[in-house]
Amino acid sequence: MTTRQHKVYTQQIHTQLGRAAVQIFATNERMNQILIEQLDPALWRAKPPGNVRSIAAIFTHMHNVRSKWVRLTAPHLKVPRQLNRARCTPQQARAGLAESAARCEEMLAEALDGGGGRVEKFRRDGWARPWPVGPEMLCYMLSHEAHHRGQVCMLAHQLGFPLPNAVMSGIWNWEKLWKECGAPGGPGCDS
C-alpha cells in the first residue's frame, strides 16, 4: 500500500468512526430521555437514602459535565448553559440534555472524522491531562453516562418506584433505539 493509499484508507476509517460515534452518542442520549420520560414525577426530587444525589441532581450533573467537556474541548461550539440541580424540572433537564448531546455529537464528529477539525485533544476536566482524540474519548463519555443511568435506575428501585421491565429492557434494545435516532440499518450498518 502506497503512502497515499494508506492516507486515504486512514481517512475513510476516521470518517466511519466519526459517523458511528455521533450515532452511538445519540443512542446514548435516547436512553437518558427514555428514563426521564418514564420516571414517576415523585422521584425527581425525592431524597435518596444516605448522602447521595437526587435523580434531579444526577441528570443536571450529566448535562453540566457535558457542557464542561464542550467548553474545554471545543470552545468554538456554543456551550450549553448550566442547569441548576435545585430548581431544574424534568422538562428542563430533557431540553438541556438534548442540547448538550447535540454539542457533544458535533464535538465527536469534529474530533473523530479525521478531517483535521478544530478538536485535537479531549479535555475532560481542568485538572486532568488532555487526551489525543480517539475512541477513548467516546468510551469515557459513554462510561460516565452509563454509570449515572445505573444510579438513576437503582435509586428509583430503592425509593419504591422501580422502572417497568419494558423500560429497563427498552434501554438495551439498541436496534430500536438506533432506528429512533435516525439510523434505519441499525448498529454496524452504513445507513
CATH number for 103: 1.20.120.450
Q: Is residue 186 part of a domain?
A: no
pLDDT score of 10 more than 70: no
Percent of the chain with pLDDT over 70: 88
DSSP 109-156: HHHHSSS--S--EE---TTSPPEESSHHHHHHHHHHHHHHHHHHHHHH
Asked, for residue 189, whether it belongs to a domain, the answer is no
Q: What is the model's pLDDT at position 15? A: 73
In this structure, is residue 188 part of a structural domain?
A: no
- What grid cell was written down for 21? 460515534
Average pLDDT, the chain: 89
Count of the separate structural domains present in the chain: 1
Say if 66 falls within a structural domain. yes
Domain that holds residue 87: 3-180
Q: Is residue 187 part of a domain?
A: no
Question: Residue 100: inside a domain, yes or no?
Answer: yes
Whether residue 79 contacts residue 113, with contact meaning beta carbons closer than 8 Å, is answered with no
pTM for the structure as a whole: 0.89
User: Residue 155: which of 59, 12, 31 has the closest Cα?
Assistant: 59
Residue 9 banded pLDDT, cuts 50, 70, 90: very low
Would you state the pLDDT for residue 114? 66
Reported as a pLDDT band with limits 50, 70 and 90, residue 8 is very low
Closest CA relative to residue 177, chosen from 30, 32, 18 = 30
Q: Is 22 within the bounds of a domain? A: yes
Does residue 126 belong to any structural domain of this protein? Answer: yes
Report whether pLDDT(6) > 70.
no
pLDDT digits (tens, 9 = 90+) for 37-85: 999 999 999 998 889 999 999 999 999 999 999 999 999 999 999 999 9
